Amino acid sequence: MIMEEGTVQYIEDMAHKLRLHALRMVYERRYGHIGGCFSLAEILSCLYFHFLRIDPQNPDWEERDRLILSKGHAAPIYYAALAERGYFSVKELDTFATGGSFLEGHPDMRAPGVDMSSGSLGMGLSVGVGMAMGAKLLGKGFLTYVILGDGEIQEGQVWEAMLVAVRYRLDNLIAIVDYNKHQLMDRIDRTLPLEPLREKWVAFNWEVFEADGHDVEALVDTIGRAIKVNGRPSVVIAHTVKGKGVSFMEGLPEWHNKVPTGEEYREAKAELSRKVFSNE
């Protein structure tokens, strides 16, 4: 892990760059889930530009850390992170969800850097459990990160995986919940409430951390502590804002999968661009 001077600012800037890529991809393709992409920007930026031990030139490197995007609908910003990290060219992002592109609407393993296909919700934690169990069996030191959406925690399979992760003492598994408090239809607390979410993970015997999911310093510190936990898996509940970064999108359920109009696009792009450049 390298944490040089200025890195926090770099990660913050990168998060906004990722948002800009995702915004453009969704706007141009007239398809995609902006709200849940934007809530994830800092988390992805921290992982890909600080924590993950990976080699984009060798995407199948066996010792690499694994990352599973269980909330596969955040594919655009995930692809943006992979591109910025060097798995493929940023130009490739223009092919998002078009025929022949490996950048499918939801992640597919044939894309370089995608460790597991996703798109059907609630499955990623189980896969992470398998990867972490495999690492232990094979004597490998890689870590497995699983990014969960909050809405998908309503799937029973997630709770099955939580049980098994503890049974196998998977301290090489780190779950991160992008807790933006919204799902497709509405706010989570008006759909199927998850609270008290922290207590649920605690009751399942996970090591539980909470952080502001848009505060890079807090995320770096918290994920860093989660990595150090011994003997059991850990989860970082990252409190986020759906649509974060564009003021007219923040916290509004309709931006789950709404495609911006031309005017909205230009306005959003301007706001995000200002954020990148104000940091530079």
Partner 1 sequence: MSNRLMREVFGETLLQLGKKDPRIVVLDADMGRSTKASKFSELFPDRFFQMGVAEQNMVGVASGLASVGLVPFVVSFAAFIKRALDQIRVLIAQPGLNAKIVGAYSGFSSSRSGKSHHAIQDMAIMRSMPNMWVVSPVDILELRAVMEVIAEHVGPVYLRLIRGPSPVVTTEGTPLHPGRGVVLRKGKDVAIMSTGIETVRAVEAVRVLESNGVDAYLLHLPWVKPLDKEAVVEAASLTGAVVVAEEHNLIGGLGSAVAEVLGEELPTPIKRVGIPDMYADSDSEEDLAEECDIGVSSVVSAVYQMLDKKNRRGRYLLEPCSSGKEG
Find how far residue 8's CA is from the centre of its chain.
Answer: 18
169-179 burial string, b = 16+ CB within 10 Å, else e? ebbbbbbbbbb
Cis peptide before 196 (omega within 30 of 0): yes
How many residues of this chain bind partner 1 (CB under 8 A)? Answer: 35
Nearest-angstrom CA–CA distance, 195 and 80: 32
Rg over alpha carbons for the chain, rounded to the nearest Å, is: 17
Note whether 118 binds partner 1 by CB under 8 A: yes
Contact 144, 227 (CB under 8 A): no
Stretch that binds partner 1, among 108-116, 179-187, 217-225, 261-269 (CB under 8 A): 108-116
Instruction: Give 62 or 263: the residue with its C-beta nearer to partner 1.
Output: 62
Instruction: Give 134 or 196: the residue with its C-beta nearer to partner 1.
Output: 134
Stretch that binds partner 1, among 4-12, 110-118, 184-192, 211-219 (CB under 8 A): 110-118
Strands of the 66-69 sheet, one edge to the other? 66-69, 144-149, 173-179, 234-239, 207-212
Q: How many helices (H) and strands (E) does the chain have?
A: 9, 5
Q: Among 58, 120, 273, 279, which residue sits at the site for partner 1 (rule: CB under 8 A)?
A: 120
Can you say whether residue 186 is alpha, beta or left, with left for phi > 0 and alpha for psi between -120 and 50 degrees?
Answer: beta
Site string for partner 1, 66-85 (x = CB under 8 A): x-------------------
Q: Minimum Å distance from CB 66 to partner 1? A: 8
Note whether 130 binds partner 1 by CB under 8 A: yes
Note whether 115 binds partner 1 by CB under 8 A: yes
Note whether 227 binds partner 1 by CB under 8 A: no
Stretch that binds partner 1, among 45-53, 95-103, 157-165, 237-245 (CB under 8 A): 157-165
Note whether 125 binds partner 1 by CB under 8 A: yes
Instruction: Give 140 or 225: the residue with its C-beta nearer to partner 1.
Output: 140
What residues have CB less than 8 Å from 98, skipping those under 6 apart?
A: 29
Q: Minimum Å distance from CB 270 to partner 1? A: 38
Q: Minimum Å distance from CB 272 to partner 1? A: 32
Q: Among 69, 123, 235, 268, which residue sits at the site for partner 1 (rule: CB under 8 A)?
A: 123
Q: Among 61, 90, 98, 138, which residue sits at the site for partner 1 (rule: CB under 8 A)?
A: 138
Contact 15, 45 (CB under 8 A): yes
Instruction: Give 111 or 218: the residue with its C-beta nearer to partner 1.
Output: 111
Q: Site residues (CB under 8 A) for partner 1?
A: 62, 66, 108-109, 115-120, 123-135, 137-138, 140, 144, 156-157, 160-161, 163-164, 167-168
